Each structure stands twice: as C-alpha cells, then as structure tokens.
Amino acid sequence: MKIGVIGTGYVGLVTGACLADLGHVVVCMDKDTRRVKLLKKGEIPFYEPGLSETVKRSVKGQRLFFTSKLEEVILDAEVIFIAVGTPPKANGEADVSAVIDVAEGIAKVLKKNHSKSSKSELGYKVIVNKSTVPVGMGDIVTDILKKRGIPEKKFAVVSNPEFLKEGSAVSDFMHPDRIVVGASNNRAFNLLSELYRPLNAHIIFTSIKSAELIKYASNAFLATRISFMNEIANICEKVGSDVVEVAEGMGLDKRIGKAFLNAGIGYGGSCFPKDVVALLHLAQSHGYDSRILEAANQANEEQWKIFVEKVEATLGGADGKRIAVLGLSFKPETDDTREAPSIKIIKRLIDLGAEITAYDPVVKKVVGLKLRMAANPYDAVKGKQAVIMVTEWNEFKQLDLERVKSLLKEPVVIDGRNIYSPVKMRNLGFTYVSVGRS
Ligand code: UDX
C-alpha cells in the first residue's frame, strides 16, 4: 500500500520505517528541512535501538522516502498518518495546534487537486490520527476537511493510537499486544486491517472516540499503577517490608500481572506525565474531577523529592557534597531526558549545594545543568562521597562493585531503581539505600 506519514518525531519515524519494513511504500514528511536532509542520508535524530537499521534497509529498498513537501505525501497515499506532537500547554491541556495545521494542510492539498480537474477522480483517503489527542479530535479533523469542500465519500478519519515504548519501539511496533482502530465505517477499518495484516496482530475496531480514550486511559492506568507501587514502597519503608518481594507476590496474581510494578523515583518521559495531566484536564473540561488521576500525578511529583530527602538524610545534607549520578535518560535504551526524574533530582541537589558528576551510556550533555560529565561510571564515582543510581541501564547492573567501592571516597550507594541486592551490597561493605526496602 502507499502510505504517507506526517511528522518524523518518535512515533512518525518508527511508524513510517516499520510500515516500510512490512513492504509498504512510505513517504515521511517533516517541515524541518534539516531533519529531512539527515534522514535521507540515513541519520536518525535520536537514539532508538534497531531504528537506524530499519530505516537504512527500507531506504535502500526504495520503500521509504523523506520529503518536506506536503503534496508529495498526500497525493499518492491511500493512508495518511498524522504523527505530530501534542505537547502540554501551561494548564496541562494538550496543545493540538500542530494536528490542526496538518489537517488544514491536507485539506488544502486535496481541495486544490480535487478542483483542478473535475473529471480526475480524487482517490479515497484514510487520514489516520496517531498523535495522542483529546477525545473529539477525530470530529474536528473531519470538519476541517468538510469545510474545505472535500466530499465525505472521498475520505475517512481514523484514530489509531500508538502504544510503543521508547527503547523498544521497533519491537513494540512489530509485536503489538493489540492494534486499536477507531473508525466510523467499514471501508476505513478494512483498509487499516489490510495495512497491518503482515503483523498478524489482534486488531480491535472501536468508535473514534473510544480509540482516542483508549490511548489516554492506558497511559494513565500504567502511570497510576507506578504511583501506586511507589506509595506501597514508601509504606514498606515505614513498616519494614520489601517492595520487590511485595511486587513479586502481587504480580503472580494473573488479575494483577507482573509488568509495571517497579517502584522507583517516579515516572518520566514524554508520555505518562503529560497524558495523565491532559486526561485530568479533559475530564475537568467536561465537568468531572478525577480524584485518582489527581492523586497519581501528585504522588509522582512527590516521589523524586522523597528520593532527594533520602540522599540528604544518608549524607547528612547535600551542601558541599560531591556526588556521582549514574543515568540521565528517563529510562534505559533511550537518550530522552524529557521529564526525567534524574534531571529534577540533579537540579535540586545542585540547589542544595551538591557538586554533581554524571555518567550516562548515551546522554552526553544536558543543556542548562551545571554538572560534570564523566567518560565512564568508574571515572564518575572516583573520589565521590556517594553514588546515586537513577536509570537502570544494564551497564550499571554489571558494574565491578569492588572497584566502585575502592574508587568512592565513602562507600555509599543510593539506588533509586533497586538495581542491587541489599544483602549483597551490605556484604560488600556498602552503605546501601534503595526504594521500599528498609
Ligand atoms: C509509555 C507507554 O508505555 C507506551 O505504551 C506509550 O506509547 C508511551 O508512553 P515510554 O514513556 O516510552 O512509554 O516508557 P515506559 O517504559 O512506559 O516508562 C515510562 C516511565 O515509567 C519511565 O520513567 C519508567 O522509568 C517508569 N516506570 C515504568 C516505573 O517507574 N516503573 C515501572 O514498573 C515501569
């Protein structure tokens, strides 16, 4: 099939590259001409395992193309994906102006072509919203096209939310738990079913509004689950239980399941924090106050602060302390530091007077933070009064801990991700503080 993808950010690029890998012919468009130039050379603007190979393979196979011109995406494509950002406004509401601009752009191109020759038949187009948008956006995009005079029988707007996780996005795309298609007619649904047929995945067909809410509800549920476990961890510390054991015991109940029960320093990234707040806002704008979402968000805002307090309590204050921080990205296998708890923790420690040296396997600088970057974890810990672990990269799980101990000025490890065994750390002679394991 001929596909167009508008937006080559995280979701758009992974979607475009993976659809091309499935054998479709895909044109990806971005208004950022510099980015398009890089992509044409096979250079990926962010770190995502497996993506570069997927892009290069499809570019070479002439199934994946990049452009900065909207016309080149729209005219031939049977399915057009909108995959532009919906960042939070100051009040938490999702800013959908980029989606609206793209919809206007599509409408303009279609209109121009439709009216050029009344004889030439404008092909049927399915416009798929992949961006995370408030419920009702599908109707707004439909209205934009209708207002421009595009006949209703010539197009359908579909919601097909993306559930990929940074760090495993390519594999998530290729092996989805489910594909959600929100459409108002069978023709559009059948086209999307055909598009995803090579994945042999479970596809569910819903209304557009349900599909839009499935995305927000899924992310908000997972975020709530993490906040819940972080609270259980805080309770564990008070009562003397171990949250890792508690999570294991809970997760074996099939109704609960094992995933996303890891307590830590709070969720970050470009989705959970913004989507919880956006859903809260959406509910409020319809006259409903969600107490659970409010609490999940508040608990998350507290969790990194509790960790900083732990650092202060362990070191007898942070002022003048030299501290190594291992990990900067909001989770392993990505270079993304958006809403990363690491950044909030480091900022606060610097404000409290600490001197920070950081190391991350892929993040090599953080704009606006006064910290030293080390070339490897051992250089980072050398001569420091403590090391704090904020991202659970595999590299950190395999550290030579004897060497770490010999390099540290004081053998103090404060672990925000429960990477190590408390017993092992104590036997090695560390003062070891973690989350929810008193
Ligand atoms: C998330 C959703 O998982 C994905 O389906 C959606 O499409 C986009 O948002 P992502 O933000 O890439 O994906 O990462 P994810 O692995 O979900 O982690 C989000 C945050 O939760 C990270 O900060 C992570 O450290 C934290 N987390 C995750 C925990 O603290 N504990 C857990 O058990 C799991």
For the stretch 245-262, pLDDT in tens is: 999 999 999 999 999 999
For the stretch 3-39, pLDDT in tens is: 999 999 999 999 999 999 999 999 999 999 999 999 9
The fraction of the chain above a pLDDT of 70, given in percent, is 98
Query: Is there a catalytic annotation at residue 28?
Result: no
User: The pTM is what?
Assistant: 0.95
Give the torsion through C-alpha atoms of 358, 367, 275, 16, to 10 deg: -100
CA-392 nearest atom, ligand 1: 25
* Ligand 1 geometric centre to CA of 289 (Å): 25
Ligand 1 site, residue 219, Cβ cutoff 6 A: yes
Ligand 1 site, residue 128, Cβ cutoff 6 A: no
- Round the average pLDDT of the chain to a whole number and report it: 95
* pLDDT, position 123: 86
Ligand 1 site, residue 300, Cβ cutoff 6 A: no
pLDDT class of 187 with cuts at 50, 70, 90: very high
* DSSP, residue by residue, 30-85: -S-HHHHHHHHTT--SS--TTHHHHHHHHHHTT-EEEES-HHHHHTT-SEEEE---
Domains of the chain: 2-206 (3.40.50.720), 218-433 (3.40.50.720)
The fraction of the chain above a pLDDT of 90, given in percent, is 94
| Cα atoms found within 13 Å of the Cα of residue 116, Cβ hemisphere only | 11
For the stretch 278-333, pLDDT in tens is: 999 999 999 999 999 999 999 999 999 999 999 999 999 999 999 999 999 999 99
For the stretch 69-96, pLDDT in tens is: 999 999 899 999 999 999 999 999 999 9
Please state the rounded mean pLDDT for residues 384-410. Answer: 98
CA-161 nearest atom, ligand 1: 7
Please state the rounded mean pLDDT for residues 425-437. Answer: 97
Please state the rounded mean pLDDT for residues 266-281. Answer: 96
* pLDDT, position 194: 96
